[in-house]
């Protein structure tokens, strides 16, 4: 045991980035093994073998940890910016492939899951949840876009001559040079640059995600808006853009609902809001009254029960976990055999049932620590882009965790969003690990920068 403790201390001492953040990630990885394996009993009963699930989860964690280590160890600020931009462009291509329902035999094919197009299957084996990819890269892209936009404004403010402006390689300097050489003055207008690099990518992303998931679109939109705010995007510009998006988005949803377009998610969203605003007992009583009048049938009753089974089962799981306060213990959950999606959408409820109040506090504590460490790293960043990227990713991860918890305890309508790292989902695990790798990589760069400054100060003394 002493040998293991010494090895752990040596490993932590060798870490150049934020050690506490790395420890949070490791604890989430370890806890995910027990939570995923125990909560997926439905999948085991349907024919999957427990050992194969264990191997699959371990393989995903190893792959995710490897990607996290590579990004943390070898990243540079310029490399992270390029990674975010190219990753975002790649995610848009995946979205286009998904929305067009393209199928290339033996290579790539779009998949429809739960009446919506969400995943792309590669080589008939590797399944990627496209929205999880978009979440991370949209925030990284917006961090680059708002930082570059701010730098571009500074170029015009700090340089007095056209020659000096063209020689300055900050901001959108390639676009400036192209506009100058072609004599196209409007390309240098601030509104055009905002529209091209910020407004258009935002609207395009939301429009492409919306057909598959209202909640994913909302989280992605909020993640990008928060990143713009943290990055110093003008409050006036941001407020006007939010109003414009609300008007256009609301009009689009009304139009889809009126046309009753095939595959739109407005009906799902409306039913979830109704389930949240009205109690289960009141809706069930109304249904029984309609059955007595003959306007509803037994089929409608069975459908109602099935649609509300998840939410009611999740509430029951949380209540059961409180007796005793330490839960039923690993493997003791009963609701995991009844609630579809317990291992993904209702992971917090499952943790409450098996690990009780202690497990709930443990999860909240870990994500609370994530916010604290992310804030500390962001405050130490001298680069605006690095600070914006770290803040955006930390808010995205912790914000999704908060939404998941609020949904599980009945304080928000059902969204279908997972608990980061802990819920089952290989694409989500990989992408959130990439996000953690970026934050850890920035923390390493920050520490190296601080050490260099301290060395310079010692030499001057």
Which pLDDT tens digit goes with each residue over 48-61?
Answer: 677 888 888 899 99
Let me know how many helices (H) and strands (E) the chain has, helices first. 18, 4
Cβ atoms 142, 220 nearer than 8 A: no
Phi, psi of 128, rounded to the nearest 5 degrees:
-120, 125
Q: Is residue 418 part of a domain?
A: yes
Q: Is residue 117 part of a domain?
A: no
Whose tokens are 């899951």? That residue is 113
- pLDDT value at residue 26: 93
Cβ atoms 369, 24 nearer than 8 A: yes
Give, in order, the Cα–Cα distances in Å from 36 to each of 39, 108, 349, 425. Answer: 5, 27, 13, 9
Closest CA to 144 of 427, 450, 438, 448: 438
Q: Is residue 118 part of a domain?
A: no
Cβ atoms 85, 76 nearer than 8 A: no
Task: Return the top range by mean pLDDT from 125-139, 161-175, 442-456.
Answer: 125-139
- pLDDT value at residue 2: 66
Cβ atoms 381, 395 nearer than 8 A: no
3-state secondary structure of 135: helix
- pLDDT value at residue 380: 87
Give, in order, the Cα–Cα distances in Å from 226 to each of 18, 204, 258, 331, 345. Answer: 24, 17, 31, 39, 24
Residue with more model confidence, 330 or 209: 209
Bridge partners, 112 (sequence order): 117
List pLDDT tens digits, range 140-167: 999 999 999 999 999 988 888 888 888 8
d(CA 260, CA 36): 37
The mean pLDDT of 101-111, rounded to a whole number, is 86
Looking at the chain, the whole-number percentage of residues with pLDDT higher than 70 is 86
Q: Is residue 98 part of a domain?
A: no
d(CA 401, CA 383): 27
Task: Return the top range by mean pLDDT from 215-219, 294-298, 362-366.
Answer: 362-366
Q: Is residue 235 part of a domain?
A: yes
In the numeric block, which tokens belong to residue 218?
């909302």
The mean pLDDT of 335-354, rounded to a whole number, is 83
In the numeric block, which tokens belong to residue 316?
């029951």
Q: What is the DSSP letter of 447?
A: H
Q: Is residue 208 part of a domain?
A: yes
The mean pLDDT of 204-208, rounded to a whole number, is 92
Q: Is residue 244 part of a domain?
A: yes
Query: Which strands, in side-by-side order, build the sheet including 116-122?
Result: 103-104, 108-113, 116-122, 126-129
Bridge partners, 219 (sequence order): none
Q: What is the mean pLDDT of the chain?
A: 84
3-state secondary structure of 284: helix
Q: How many domains does the chain have?
A: 1
- pLDDT value at residue 102: 86
The CA dihedral of 187, 189, 195, 198, to the nearest 10 degrees, is 100
pTM for the model stands at 0.89
3-state secondary structure of 2: helix
Give, in order, the Cα–Cα distances in Å from 246 to each of 6, 23, 140, 221, 230. Answer: 56, 40, 23, 11, 20
Q: Is residue 112 part of a domain?
A: no
In the numeric block, which tokens belong to residue 273?
């809001």
Task: Return the top range by mean pLDDT from 74-78, 267-271, 378-382, 389-393.
Answer: 389-393
- Domain holding 229, by residue range, is 11-81+130-460
Peptide bond into 324 cis (omega under 30): yes
Cβ atoms 50, 86 nearer than 8 A: no
3-state secondary structure of 129: strand
Cβ atoms 350, 340 nearer than 8 A: no
In the numeric block, which tokens belong to residue 409?
């305890």
């Amino acid at each position: 045991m002493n040998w293991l403790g010494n090895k752990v201390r040596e490993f932590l001492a060798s870490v150049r980035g934020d050690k506490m953040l790395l420890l949070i990630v490791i604890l989430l990885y370890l806890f995910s093994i027990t939570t995923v394996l125990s909560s997926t009993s439905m999948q085991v009963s349907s024919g999957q073998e427990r050992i194969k699930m264990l191997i699959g989860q371990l393989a995903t964690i190893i792959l995710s940890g490897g990607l996290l280590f590579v990004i943390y160890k070898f990243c540079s600020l310029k490399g992270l910016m390029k990674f975010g931009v190219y990753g975002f462009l790649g995610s848009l291509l995946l979205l286009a492939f998904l929305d067009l329902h393209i199928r290339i035999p033996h290579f790539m094919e779009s998949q429809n899951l739960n009446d919506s197009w969400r995943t792309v299957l590669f080589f008939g084996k590797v399944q990627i949840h496209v929205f999880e990819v978009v979440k991370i890269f949209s925030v990284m892209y917006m961090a680059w876009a708002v930082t570059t936009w701010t730098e571009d404004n500074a170029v015009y403010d700090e340089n007095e001559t056209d020659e000096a402006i063209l020689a300055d390689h900050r901001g959108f300097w390639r676009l400036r040079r192209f506009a100058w050489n072609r004599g196209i003055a409007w390309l240098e207008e601030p509104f055009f640059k905002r529209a091209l690099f910020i407004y258009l990518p935002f609207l395009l992303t939301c429009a492409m995600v919306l057909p598959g998931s209202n909640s994913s679109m909302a989280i992605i939109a909020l993640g990008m808006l928060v990143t713009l705010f943290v990055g110093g995007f003008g409050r006036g510009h941001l407020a006007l853009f939010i109003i414009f998006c609300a008007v256009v988005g609301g009009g689009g949803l009304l139009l889809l609902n009126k046309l009753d377009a095939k595959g739109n998610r407005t009906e799902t969203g409306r039913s979830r809001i109704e389930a949240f605003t009205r109690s289960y007992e009141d809706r069930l009583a109304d249904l029984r009254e309609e059955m007595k009048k003959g306007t509803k049938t037994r089929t409608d009753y069975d459908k109602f029960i099935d649609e509300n089974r998840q939410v009611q089962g999740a509430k029951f799981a949380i209540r059961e976990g409180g007796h005793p306060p330490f839960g039923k213990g690993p493997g003791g959950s009963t609701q995991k055999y009844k609630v579809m999606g317990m291992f993904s959408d209702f992971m917090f409820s499952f943790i409450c049932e098996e690990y009780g109040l202690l497990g709930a506090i443990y999860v909240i504590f870990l994500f609370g620590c994530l916010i604290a460490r992310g804030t500390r790293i962001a405050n130490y960043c001298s680069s605006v882009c690095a600070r914006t990227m770290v803040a955006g990713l930390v808010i995205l991860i912790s914000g999704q965790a908060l939404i998941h918890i609020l949904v599980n305890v009945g304080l928000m309508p059902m969204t279908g969003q997972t608990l980061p790292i802990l819920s089952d989902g290989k694409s989500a695990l990989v992408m959130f690990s990439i996000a953690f790798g970026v934050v850890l990589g920035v923390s390493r760069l920050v520490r190296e920068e601080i050490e260099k400054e301290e060395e310079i100060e010692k030499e001057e003394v």
